[in-house]
Structure 1
Amino acid sequence: MSIDLDQDNATDLRPLAVVTGGSKGIGFELARQFAEHGYDLVICAEDAGVLGEAAQALTGLGPDGVSTVRTVAADLATYDGVEQLYAELQALGRPVDVLAANAGVGVGGDFARETDLDAELRMIELNVSGQVHLIKRVLRQMVERDRGQVLVTSSIAGVLPGPREAVYAATKAFLRSFGHALRNELSDTGVGVTVLMPGPTETEFFERADLQDTRAGQMEKDDPAMVAKAAFQALAHDRAQVVAGLKNKVQVGMAAAMPDTAKTAFHGQLTKPGKD
């Protein structure tokens, strides 16, 4: 259900940003960036209560002191959930200027011996199927208008095959490939696509993925506000890809020069159980 927290007669003069996974972490900070730069918002996540708290915090930001924030509580791991969000966007009667396709989840553990199949299949539905579904719906309208931007949240895991997060890393590799391919296909249009590749970030990811007792889970993490700021700047300059944080840039650069076996072994050390 869509909730209007603020209304303004001039909303049609402000651009509209849609942020999935917008209630917490990187998604919330992305929404903050858009609000502070004069965008109206639609934020989507599954938990209506947390969404409402996020919307309250985002309302009234921006250079004019006014921002319209709408929330859509929907499960984007399902076909119906994506269609629900898209129907809400259609009902607004306003074009989407930016889609931040950020919703995602992780699952950690040994694939053959530890992880739950249902959890991994649901992760694929959210991280891959739901993203493709929503982007397909919104992107066609952007192309018709010859204007718009899509931000696809991948991860540096998208270039590092991930032992003990094998399916998660594969979903992020898919998103990286998908985003770059779309950008090439749309190079003759006014629509841009940017791939965001954060590294370990101070969010609930490691707790939810059961990866706290790993080197990656224990290492110092990036501030999600920093990641979101880097993403917004990349969109503003229509960059193909943004890797947030110096150490992550170094890892991605190293990965480009390493064979797959070495990249996999390196990532496996980060996700190996135990802190030592």
Structure 2
Amino acid sequence: MSSLQFKDKWVLITGASAGLGKELAIQLARDYHANLILIARREGKLSELQSFLISQYDIHVKYLVADLSVQEDLEKVYQFSISNNVYGMILNAGVTYFGEDCQLEFAQAKKIIETNINSVVYLTQKFVQYFETKKQEGALMLVSSMAAMFPAPYQSIYSGTKSFLFSYGHALSHELKNKQFSISIFAPGGMQTEMTEGDSFGGLQKWLMPVNQAAKDALAGFAKRKYTILPGWQNRIGAKFMRLLPLKFLGNQMEKVYKKSLDNSK
């Protein structure tokens, strides 16, 4: 299967107003000259990013304000994307929670599941059906996490949702009949983003990867249609090493590191 060619093609990015999504948009515009469909909840941030990208990189940029935990908004995102002949889809939007799971209100837990899982499943199914029917070239990238592969205490629900995406995306990729369409899974470790700026993440800053490097590796792997994309040589080596260790042992070590960071933030 040939590599993806993003130049002058439309690429969808959810969660595009900040963090990894924003950096992916900038690099797709700057390095790949892609046209962009940006999705997020904050219109001010989207409008600002749209103006910047158009002025700096001479590309086409459209945006849609949407809450991916709302079913009607998901349908709007899908229809808006296919009406613009979307070529690549990056389902990046996600919500985290760092703390004791038993202190998480169920309404908040439900919101995390709706955003991290329900929205991704809905959009993935719709886009896969579209490309299977049309037999067009394209690709989908689901943003999972290294927390999908190893226990992440105090991020239990986030880890669980990302584990679902990791398994779901990989399994679904083997069902595809359109040989011009592919699914990649991006599984970064922690990154320096708006999501990890809070006090509770203070003790983890030294472990966080610069978001620009993570985005660069993500797009390089996506363009090559890689099955699994792990950014950074340290993460790739670490993942191989950790697979040799018992999960319970890894969970115990992660619990100590995360608990210390939480305690220091109080």
Q: TM-score, normalised by structure 1?
A: 0.86
Q: Which residue, out of 38, 43, 56, partners 1:43?
A: 38
Equivalent residue for 1:7? none
Deviations 1:204-251 (A, max 9, x none): 12246x7325x32x3242121111111111012111111112332233
Match of 2:193 in 1: 203
C-alpha root-mean-square deviation of aligned residues, in Å?
2.0
Aligned 8 A contact 1:107 1:119 in 2: no
Q: Which of the numbers 194, 203, 221 marks the counterpart of 2:184?
A: 194
1:118 maps to which residue? Answer: 107
Whether contact under 8 Å (1:101, 1:151) holds in the other structure is: yes
User: Secondary structure of the residue that 1:198 maps to in structure 2?
Assistant: coil
1:159 matched to 2:139: no
Residue 11 of structure 2 is matched in structure 1 by: 17
User: In the alignment, does 2:16 pair up with 1:27?
Assistant: no
2:255 maps to: 268
Percent identity for Structure 1 against Structure 2: 26
Q: SS at 2:37's partner residue? A: strand
Which of 204, 229, 238 aligns to 1:251? It is 238
Q: Which runs of 5+ in 2 are unaligned?
A: 1-6
User: Aligned with 1:133: secondary structure?
Assistant: helix
Corresponding residue to 1:86 among 74, 78, 85: 78
Amino acid of the structure 1 residue aligned with 2:71: Y
Moved more, 249-258 or 193-202: 249-258
Amino acid corresponding to residue 244 of structure 2 in structure 1: A
**Long gaps (5+) in structure 1:** 1-12
Task: Indicate conservation of the 8 Å contact 1:35/1:58, yes or no.
Answer: yes
Q: Deviations over 1:181-217 (max 9, x none)?
A: 1222227621111111111111012246x7325x32x
- How many Å separate the matches in 2 of 1:136 and 1:236? 21
Whole-angstrom distance in 1 between the partners of 2:173 and 2:79: 25
User: Counterparts of 2:129 and 2:27 in 1: how far apart (Å)?
Assistant: 25
Structure 1 window deviating more from structure 2 (179-188 vs 37-46): it is: 179-188
Distance 2:96 2:86 in 1: 28
CA contact under 8 A between 2:131 and 2:178: conserved in structure 1?
no
1:70 aligned to 2:70? Answer: no
Contact 2:15 2:93 in 1 (8 A): yes
Residue 182 of structure 1 aligns to a residue whose secondary structure is helix
Give the AA of the match of 1:162. A
- Greater helix percent: which structure? 2
Distance 1:61 1:182, change over 3 A: farther
Instruction: Report the equivalent of 1:241.
Output: 228
Aligned equivalents of 1:19 and 1:75: distance in 2? Answer: 14
Q: Which moved more, 1:34-43 or 1:136-145?
A: 136-145
Contact 2:132 2:177 in 1 (8 A): no
Name the amino acid aligned to 2:67.
D
Matched, 1:108 2:98: yes
Matched residue SS, 1:131: helix
Q: Does 1:145 align with 2:145?
A: no
Question: How many pairs were matched up?
Answer: 255
Contact 2:69 2:111 in 1 (8 A): yes
Where 1:211 maps in the other structure, the secondary structure is: helix
Q: TM-score, normalised by structure 2?
A: 0.89
Q: Please list the CA deviations of residues 104-152 of structure 1 after superposition, one character each: whole Å capped at 9, or x if unmatched.
A: 010111112x222211110010000011111111221122233211111
